[in-house]
Amino acid sequence: MKKNDPASRIQDLRQFGEFGGVNPSITDSSTYTFLAADTMEDTFHGETQGCFLYSRHWNPSNKYLADALAALEETESGWITASGMAAITCTILELCNCGDHIVTSVTTYGGTFAFLKNYLPKFNIEVSFVNIADLESVEKAIQPNTRLIYTESLTNPLLQISDIPALSDICRKHGIQLIVDNTFSPMIISPARLGADIIVYSMTKFINGKNDCVAGAICSGTDFINGLSDVNKGTAMLLGPVLDPIRSSSILKNLHTLHIRMKQHSRNAMYLARRFSELGLKVIYPGLESHPHHDLMKKLMNEEFGFGGILAIDFGDHATSNKIMQLMQDKDIGYLAVSLGYFKTLFSCSGHSTSSEVPAEMQKEMGLSPGLTRFSVGLDNDIERTFDKILFCLKELKIIS
């Protein structure tokens, strides 16, 4: 089978400024001039190609980035949003109407969980939360009014691996859509190749890689993206979560180094996961053979990019997690902060931060320990030195002898 190479698909894009600049020009306009009145009317009706009418609808900077994301994911088209949550919510609201039903993973980002659990009921949209790794439970949850299955490639924060081809088969059987959030694993997993209909991203994380802005993306077929942007009924057009063109331009430049960064994030995370595991700590990382979905991950992944930059360690309780995170920050190992994909290591206690929207009883049911601590491993050039500093912290707090 021919190697899947998302990095080269981005590299092969021919994008440059209209005056010959090696970077595409930034569009500093909210509205656009038409040279003929008829063209304006045709553009409002969606009948004109290559014309822009208003930056909430489309603008050249966002289009450049959307084209690059579509190339990354091998989809026909893409759409840029002002946040990852905007990408998720616009996608779901575009597909679902009052009275519809969704099947989703019980282990998912807290903001997504809150939207599905607490917000959608006002529209009479019902959601079934299941163990996404239990395909029998997934299929049993489907109802006649089910419109989609929603999951994450690597679930947050337990790092379950979604069997995208199997989930796609279930969706085809029932005539529904498969949405995959690939935020944790850009380039590592290619959901569209594996059968996903729609891929969503928080570009805030690995894709941008600098934690200096909030942004999202939707990658799918042309018909779905055109529907999102329809001036009369498109969810993204009418709700208006548009990203500023200057930020789009910045993210596009960062996207060209994503393949280098993902390899280094993965290399560092694998090193730490192995060393932590050797110490007897309870480590969750899909690159370890002890991970229950290790073989599935190997089957799905684009091997050259590694197993990802996210790992989790269960320190047992919240108080212990707080102590180790505080000391690691004091020792300049990284930052006690949410989010991920930064060049410095970030760590947070998931049940009390990014998954705090999930009720305590449900956290317990899904296996989310109060002390589960998520590490977004940075781009450290000397990861052995970083490990030695963490080892000092663990011994200082008598977590290990």
Domain span including residue 243: 6-255
**pLDDT for the residue 56:** 87
Contacts of 240 (CB under 8 A, 6+ apart): 56
**pLDDT for the residue 1:** 45
What is the H or E stretch that residue 149 is in?
Answer: strand 146-152
- Regarding beta strands 126-130 and 282-284, do their DSSP bridges make them parallel or antiparallel, or are they unpaired? unpaired
Over the stretch 50-74, which tens digit does the pLDDT of each residue have? 678 888 888 899 999 999 999 999 9
Answer yes or no: is 1 within a domain: no
E strand spans, 285-389 = 310-314, 334-336, 345-349, 372-376
Asked if residue 171 and residue 282 are part of one domain, the reply reads: no
Answer for the pair 64, 13: CB distance below 8 angstroms, yes or no: no
- Regarding beta strands 198-202 and 177-181, do their DSSP bridges make them parallel or antiparallel, or are they unpaired? parallel
**pLDDT for the residue 203:** 98
- The CATH number assigned to the domain holding 293 equals 3.90.1150.10
For residue 247, count other CB atoms closer than 10 A to its CB: 21
Answer yes or no: is 401 within a domain: no
**pLDDT for the residue 351:** 65
Asked if residue 387 and residue 348 are part of one domain, the reply reads: yes
pTM beyond 0.85: the answer is: yes
How many domains is the chain partitioned into structurally?
A: 2
Asked if residue 178 and residue 276 are part of one domain, the reply reads: no
At 28 the three-state DSSP class reads coil
**pLDDT for the residue 113:** 92
**pLDDT for the residue 16:** 81
Asked if residue 200 and residue 166 are part of one domain, the reply reads: yes
Residues of the chain with pLDDT under 50: 1
Answer yes or no: is 142 within a domain: yes
Answer yes or no: is 201 within a domain: yes
Answer yes or no: is 335 within a domain: yes
Answer with the one of 208, 223, 255 that is the final residue of a domain.
255
CA-wise closest residue to 116 among 151, 78, 154: 151
What is the H or E stretch that residue 75 is in?
Answer: none
Asked if residue 374 and residue 307 are part of one domain, the reply reads: yes
- The CATH number assigned to the domain holding 249 equals 3.40.640.10
Asked if residue 226 and residue 134 are part of one domain, the reply reads: yes
Asked if residue 269 and residue 189 are part of one domain, the reply reads: no
